[in-house]
Amino acid sequence: MLNREVLSANEAVYDGCQEQPIDLDISLPDYCPDIQRILKCQVLPSISSRSVSGDRLEVEGTCTVRIYYLDAGGTNVHCYETESPYLAAATLKQPVEQPRIYTSTRVEYVNCRSTSPRRLDIHGAFSVCARVCGKMDMEFVSSAEDDSMEQLPSEYRCNFCTGFSQQPFTVEDTLELSPGKLPAETVLRTDACAVLKTAEPMQGQVMAAGEVRLHILYASGEENAEPESMEYVMPFTQLLDCDGVTEDSTCRVQMAVSRIEIQIRADYTGESSAFETHIHLLSSVSNFQPKVLSALSDVYSRTCELNVTRKQKMLESLSEIVSDTCSHRFSVQCDNGLTKILDLWSEPCTVTAAVDNGQLQFSGKLSICVLALNQEGVPFYFERTSEFSCSKPIETKYETRCTAEGTILSLSYRLTGGEIELKAEIMLTAEVYELQTVKFITDIEEDIARPKEKDTAALCIYFADAGEKLWDIACRYCTSVRAIREENGLTGDAVESRGMLLIPM
């Protein structure tokens, strides 16, 4: 009689990227002025949904292309924006139940040129990256009901993902312009990030609270007026459903901005003094529950040989979710006679994490975008990159795998001559997984045609080395660990010091 259990562990069935091309031939609409010079072409891919059906992964979203340019006068900044939907699909290794889907996007390259004052030719590409994990079941032997078999049980403590859900929701508000600000005519640029403050698990749900940090650059429409910028904080509280969540769960909650909708609204005087704002977020919840696996790691029979079938399995267990804020200071040189910064932002930062010598090491790269004025009062644009790193102490027992992400919370600057001193506040989050390779016993068969020969002696004398395991000695002499312990007055699993042992046969 073999007692069996089922191991339901997460296993990656897809980990890769799908490249999406960008090929646009754009004619400016009538309300846009002619192009004198292109300042920046920005590609902003976003993800609105992700799903798995059978062995097919589908990721849907929108790719926004923004072109910042100067009009014929050469002093006014304008923005033209176009959107197009996309669908990225991939085939998984095998169909999975309750898939857990991680997704991200990255821009590969973009080339933009004006073929005429009213025509744009844009070519580029972005990638949609995904990692899909699913539950894979495997039977293993936990014990055998046979008095002639000696069994060596082992316990493995794991923290498996037992539930995953995703849920879209919207944060809405009407945001007023600050006193003294010029009225808004057109929105030039927006960006937003979602910052999670707390995530309280309860029965079947997680109460998530945080804020959306929104930046708006707009033009007033007044002649020769510089663009104006506004910063807003929009708090939110949202109940997120996820099966299996309890008050003791460890939950990983992620928030991503999938779409920003802003319309300029006039007040009772007719002045455009507010933004009607809808920020669409896509949330995901991963629920982790601790589990103890009791399995046979070794077995032998005192009466006959055994045919033991084993299967190797990598146990990926969540060790810790680490969040930290990193302050990164750096300087940027500008040789164009910069006199004033009109707008400053960062492209999505790339972050990796790894455990090394008891430290969780974060490293990443920022791409800083600057829209500024030169000494003649003409707007110009430039980019600079800066690498950053930080570390945090961590304790792990096994080999690890880390996933990491970074969010730019704020970006401040100070002009000193021809140099910009910058400070970036970055929220870094990493999931640290311990990887433990285990050989599970999946089947045991007695080979009665190969009986073991029994020694006629009642006792054998064996000289053991310090640290030698009693299991190995008992297996060699076809006896039991319990018998060796009782005969020699031992309590542990190994010989404490070199010496003679009496082995009952």
Domain edges within the chain: 10-133, 163-289, 320-439, 455-505
List strand residue ranges (DSSP E) for 55-148, in order: 56-70, 77-91, 97-116, 119-144
Sequence-separated (6 or more) residues with CB below 8 Å from residue 89: 18, 56, 57, 58, 59
The CA dihedral of 193, 430, 128, 62, to the nearest 10 degrees, is: -20
Residue pair 112/259 in contact (Cβ under 8 Å)? The answer is no
Amino acid at 207: M
For residues 131-135, give the mean pLDDT.
88
The dihedral region occupied by 387, where left means phi > 0, alpha psi between -120 and 50, and beta the remainder, is beta
pLDDT at 482 over 70: yes
Residue pair 229/217 in contact (Cβ under 8 Å)? The answer is yes
pLDDT (0 to 100) of residue 456:
67
What string of DSSP letters covers 117-135? TTEEEEEEEEEEEEEEEEE
Residue 91 three-state SS: strand
For residues 279-292, give the mean pLDDT.
93
Tell me the C-alpha distance between 237 and 239, whole Å: 7
The model's pLDDT over 11-34, given as tens digits with 9 standing for 90+, comes to 889 999 999 999 999 999 998 999
Sequence-separated (6 or more) residues with CB below 8 Å from residue 426: 325, 326, 327, 328, 349, 364, 366, 388, 406, 407, 408, 409
DSSP letter (8 states) at residue 184: P
- Residues of the chain with pLDDT > 90: what percent? 67
Residue pair 37/154 in contact (Cβ under 8 Å)? The answer is no
Is CATH 3.10.350.10 the right assignment for the domain spanning 455-505? yes
Q: How confident is the model at residue 81 (pLDDT cuts 50, 70, 90)?
A: very high
> Would you state the structure tokens that stand for residue 433, as one six-digit string?
């997984």
For residues 276-301, give the mean pLDDT.
93
Question: Whole-model pTM?
Answer: 0.86
For helices 481-488 and 470-477, the axis angle rounded to 10 degrees is 110
DSSP letter (8 states) at residue 211: E
Q: What is the overall mean pLDDT for the chain?
A: 91
Q: How confident is the model at residue 118 (pLDDT cuts 50, 70, 90)?
A: very high
> Would you state the structure tokens that stand for residue 484, as one six-digit string?
């060796």
- The single residue listed with the structure tokens 């979710």 is 321
User: For the chain, how far is it from start to end, CA to CA, in angstroms?
Assistant: 25
> Would you state the structure tokens that stand for residue 86, as one six-digit string?
């996309």
The CA dihedral of 139, 140, 144, 149, to the nearest 10 degrees, is: 140
- Distances in Å between the alpha carbon of 350 and those of 36, 165, 407, 497? 33, 25, 9, 54
Tell me the C-alpha distance between 38 and 122, whole Å: 12
Pick from 347, 376, 379, 378: which is nearest to 364 by CA? Answer: 347
- The single residue listed with the structure tokens 């799903």 is 51
Sheet containing strand 119-144, strands side by side: 2-27, 119-144, 97-116
Tell me the C-alpha distance between 363 and 345, whole Å: 20
Pick from 254, 286, 294: which is nearest to 406 by CA? Answer: 254
pLDDT at 428 over 90: yes
pLDDT at 470 over 70: yes
Sequence-separated (6 or more) residues with CB below 8 Å from residue 215: 189, 190, 191, 192, 229, 230, 231, 232, 345
Annotate 207-237 with b (16+ C-beta within 10 A) or e (fewer): ebebbbbbbbbbbbeeeeebbbbbebebebe
- Residues of the chain with pLDDT > 70: what percent? 99
Pick from 479, 472, 501: which is nearest to 489 by CA? Answer: 501
- The single residue listed with the structure tokens 């979203």 is 61
Structure-model confidence comparison of residues 253 and 335, the more confident one = 253
Sequence-separated (6 or more) residues with CB below 8 Å from residue 445: 306, 307
Tell me the C-alpha distance between 347 and 337, whole Å: 24
- Distances in Å between the alpha carbon of 394 and those of 354, 355, 400, 433? 11, 8, 11, 12
pLDDT at 455 over 90: no
- The single residue listed with the structure tokens 């999946």 is 442
pLDDT at 62 over 90: yes
